Chain A
């Protein structure tokens, strides 16, 4: 039931781009993306709702393909501040809007 993320880890140089994928075996109502820095709480980035929308702010955007039960997070022109572990959180809808978090992707941006 836990969404699977790929890659598990990625190392970038500043200014490079990255894509993080999140795949679920269950039909999804929404997908959230969070970034967690070491020793800190996860921080909300964005939410994508059923309907196949794409969202973005600054140089971070995401897409949601509900038919494939997949979401992707796109980081362009990466900055040092992008370093951290990225988690997708999937919601199946219904009576509860609890999130099930993915396996995580460790992103390290180097100067």
Chain B
């Protein structure tokens, strides 16, 4: 597509529930990143995909967080047993590779109540 698309744009869920956040990157971009951003803070790295594989998942806070990119394009970030502290804007970005800038999606605002 022309840009990075993220769905849903907003998600409200109850504590303890499971959520999935979807990211559709720019066509042809092999690098895909997930970040989360809390109010007043910079984006915090979660995970990086190169193609289908997770090249760096060192930012995932714990084992409740998991992400996949089975066909090398669309990615899904999965959060199990959500906690109120998971509330944030989850941003996805894609890139044409090293030396290229990131294009961010509009984000998914996750609120855990």
| Given A2-B42, A41-B91, A103-B42: A98 and B103 interface contact (C-beta under 8 Å) | no
- In the bound complex, what is the Cα–Cα distance between A102 and B37 (angstroms)? 12
Instruction: Give the residues from 1 to 45 in chain A that come closer than 8 angstroms, CB to CB, to chain B.
Output: 2, 30, 32, 34, 40-45
**Considering only CB atoms, which chain B residue lies closest to A102 in the complex?**
B42
User: Does any Cβ of A come within 8 Å of B1's Cβ?
Assistant: no
A47 and B99 contact, CB distance less than 8 A = yes
Contact A44-B103, Cβ < 8 Å, known A87-B43, A101-B42, A104-B41: yes
> Contact partner of A97 among B31, B40, B107, CB < 8 A?
B31
Q: Does A96 interact with chain B (Cβ within 8 Å)?
A: yes
Q: 1/0 per position for B100-113, CB-CB distance to A under 8 A?
A: 11111111000000
Identify the A interface with B (CB < 8 A). 2, 30, 32, 34, 40-47, 49, 87, 89, 95-104
